[in-house]
Amino acid sequence: MKRSNRLILLIGLFLAVVAFVGVFYLLSNNRGSTDTGGALKAKAVIALKDIPLGVTVTESDVEAQEFDKAEVLANSYPATSQVIGQIARTDITKGAQLTTSMFSSTGITTITVPPTKRAISVQVDQVTGVGTLIKPGDYVDMVVGFTADKFPVVTVNPEDETITPVTGINATSVKLLLQGMQVLGTLLPPPPSDTGTTDTGGETPTSLNGQQEIVVLSVDAQQAEVIKFAQLDGNVSLVLRSSKDFQDPNDPKIQVTPLPDETTGIILRVLIDEYGVLVPQVVEALLPAQASPAP
């Protein structure tokens, strides 16, 4: 009886050793599938061609390749599906590993000014800057409004050439001055610290809080002068454009410059003549007759 018990115990130990060796063998094979010559491997998405700022990444632009794990950059993408459809927020060179910073607009770290262009910054808020949602690579137009005090209306007496200001005239003027400027970078204030008391479901909350944004634009010399004048004497708003307006329909990688749209500019007279804004009419009110004085 004792001998049979020892036999059973030996068989159990033997089976345990066999199981241990089998598990070790399987784990060794699994490590070998990602370990060639002792170096761990990992995949990273690279650019197969230059991807300019503002261009949407397509399937033909990228490829996932295998690298030694030590060569893979932090915040890189292991699969092409993670980058296809995203807009490049910086110039991406052929062969570069794609990282999250290339598609992020959280702050200006560096900008590249195109040849013959200048970079100028414009400060906007949630109302004048499309909710401060403008990002690097976007295209914008600039609308400027000048208020009535910028256009004084006077009359000149021909006899003594004295000048008399004319009051009561609406001299406000609005014009789409500049079109098709590309955004080189943006700068937003840091997000509020998370105290852990509010559950946003993993999404950044959006609210009307008067947030400001600095938008850096690529302009020519003449446009730089216009923008500076508008900043000094006008009220500036940026209008967001579709990036497709600036892409060749046959090849989205080719950037084109569309012809500027013609606009009339707006003053009160234009609103009355072309948009049917009604001119206020003088309304004569009959006042009740004054009571006759008592005799």
Domain that holds residue 14: 2-33
Q: Are residues 159 and 256 in the same domain?
A: yes
CATH number of the domain to which 52 belongs:
3.90.1210.10
Phi and psi (nearest 5°) for 183?
Answer: -85, 125
Q: And the tokens for 247?
A: 């892409």
- 280 in a domain, yes or no? no
Tokens 């004569």 sit on residue: 284
- 266 in a domain, yes or no? yes
pTM of the full structure: 0.69
Which residues, other chains included, contact 88 with Cβ-Cβ below 8 Å and sequence gap of 6+? 51, 52, 53, 54, 55, 56, 57, 102, 103, 137
Q: Are residues 246 and 182 in the same domain?
A: yes
**Distance of alpha carbon 39 from alpha carbon 106, whole angstroms:** 35
Q: What's the pLDDT at 253?
A: 72
Q: Are residues 137 and 47 in the same domain?
A: no
Q: Are residues 98 and 214 in the same domain?
A: no
- 295 in a domain, yes or no? no
Q: Return the SS3 of 217.
A: strand
Residue 186 β-bridge partners:
215
Q: Are residues 91 and 178 in the same domain?
A: no
Q: Are residues 65 and 16 in the same domain?
A: no
Q: What's the pLDDT at 192?
A: 62
- 111 in a domain, yes or no? no
- 294 in a domain, yes or no? no
**Distance of alpha carbon 130 from alpha carbon 186, whole angstroms:** 13
Q: Are residues 19 and 55 in the same domain?
A: no
The two most distant CA atoms of the chain are separated, in Å, by 146
Q: Are residues 258 and 168 in the same domain?
A: yes
* HEC sequence for 182-214: EEEEEECCCCCCCCCCCCCCCCCCCCCCCCEEE
Pick the last residue of a domain from 51, 79, 103: 103
Pick the last residue of a domain from 48, 69, 103: 103
Q: Are residues 11 and 148 in the same domain?
A: no
Q: Are residues 76 and 131 in the same domain?
A: no
Q: Domain count of the chain?
A: 3
Task: Outline where DSSP puts E strands in the chain.
Answer: 35-36, 39-47, 62-68, 118-125, 139-146, 154-156, 163-165, 173-187, 212-219, 235-241, 247-248, 251-255
Q: What's the pLDDT at 30?
A: 47
Mean pLDDT, consecutive 10-residue stretches, the chain (295 aa), reads 60 66 56 53 90 87 89 90 88 90 73 92 95 92 88 80 76 93 88 54 62 94 96 94 88 83 92 90 75 58
- 49 in a domain, yes or no? yes
Q: What's the pLDDT at 102?
A: 87
Which residues, other chains included, contact 102 with Cβ-Cβ below 8 Å and sequence gap of 6+? 88, 89, 90, 92
Q: Return the SS3 of 66.
A: strand
Q: Are residues 27 and 43 in the same domain?
A: no
**Distance of alpha carbon 22 from alpha carbon 25, whole angstroms:** 5
Q: What's the pLDDT at 31?
A: 42
- 292 in a domain, yes or no? no
Q: Are residues 131 and 160 in the same domain?
A: yes
- 261 in a domain, yes or no? yes
| Sign, CA torsion 46/47/51/55 | negative
Pick the last residue of a domain from 75, 103, 131: 103
Q: And the tokens for 13?
A: 């130990």
